Structure 1
Amino acid sequence: MLYFTRWKTVLIWLAVLAGVFFAIPNVLPVSFLARIPAWIPHKQMTLGLDLQGGSHILLQLDHKDLIHDRMNATRDDIRTKLRNARIGYTGLVASGKSIQVRITDPKQLDAARKALESLTQPIASGLFGGGSVQETAESEPGNNVLRYTLTDEGINYRISSAITKSIEVVSRRVNELGTTEPIIQRQGTDRILVQVPGLQDPDRLKEILGKTAKLTFQMVDQSGS
């Protein structure tokens, strides 16, 4: 038969009573907790989505939209820089992940390359070991044409940056709901998991996430998973 000394028995009962004391708020209504003295524990355990229900949404970054925006921005940069340098050009077109432009005067080809060199300069990323990323690579297919192509590492950098910034935006919007301890976290490389315990109206969550500022995300259909 298991035997405990008196002092061990006392300690065990004290531990049990302390556990009950701090657990009591979880079985009491909030209205009652508001009336009891402040020295009594008030904090209730936050129940997760599996215990109290709520809304669950998985957002996925729209890669095509992001690349489309980067292509438009790069094309505008090329147009602006060549005009500022007073360099004549034609055939400024985008295809896939590349943008090419034909310099009208062959004698201005070097000047055009100089004017556009900032497009291929590496940028500090804080990613990939804290180094830098080259977003755009230059090539010359001939006939006075300069071609600028979005690199894979540059696209990955933009995706990671977009996810980080979007998590901040999503957090601010979800906090407007006044819920307790929502879960907002990165999932994989291009997804954001949003779980809001206690929110029984998923349409309300979709409305909050989809308003005002642009988020290049799509709701992920998880019905088949």
Structure 2
Amino acid sequence: MELALLTQSEFDAHIANKTLRLAFIGMSNVGKSYRSKMLCNESGFDWYQVDKEILKSLGFSSMEEESKWLGLPHSVTYQERERAYLDAEAKHTKLDFLTSGKNLVFDTTGSVPYLQSPTTTWLKEHCLVVHLDAGEQSIALMIKRFFEQPKPVIWNGLYERRQGETEKEALERCYPVLLADRLKKYRAMAHVNIKAEDLYDKSGDETLRIIRSHLTV
């Protein structure tokens, strides 16, 4: 069932019947987990954390361990491990169970738009995909934070070191390209795009009301 055509009354019915499936997508640290936590704690949603399931699947106990394993894109083992990560992400994003008896929120990873189409299509057919849009104005701050403390991310082929470049110079050139590409893909993938700042510090029920306001009457 394609959920792009959900109306406000259908949204209300799904909530009442405990059949609503939300999937939050967007940049890392944009608020996906916080919003999911609010829906879980205040609105009775089940909270499915894709990051947590990937950690368990790969045998890690912390994000720090996983990040150290993945490494930066110029690492010899990076491409092989990036593929293993994306395979685990696909496995734990396309679920066989959706009948928990509760409304459900998927807390996806920042790399969700780089999954293959069978998985992203499944997500769009089974969930209302809500993009927490950080906006172009946030990219400069994300770049600043990244270079203050570089951390492993999924590059999806967008890192390329040119002849004569240092690894740092290549990262400085490619990281803004990666962020712009992700932002474009999130917007295309989502049923609903909402400014992340509009949901800042909102309760679970307020979050649902804002999402509802973006649907057709």
TM-score using structure 2 length? 0.23
The structure whose RCO (Cα within 8 Å, separation 6+) is larger is 2
**Which has the larger share of helix?**
2
Larger Rg: 1
TM-score using structure 1 length? 0.22
**Which has the larger share of strand?**
1
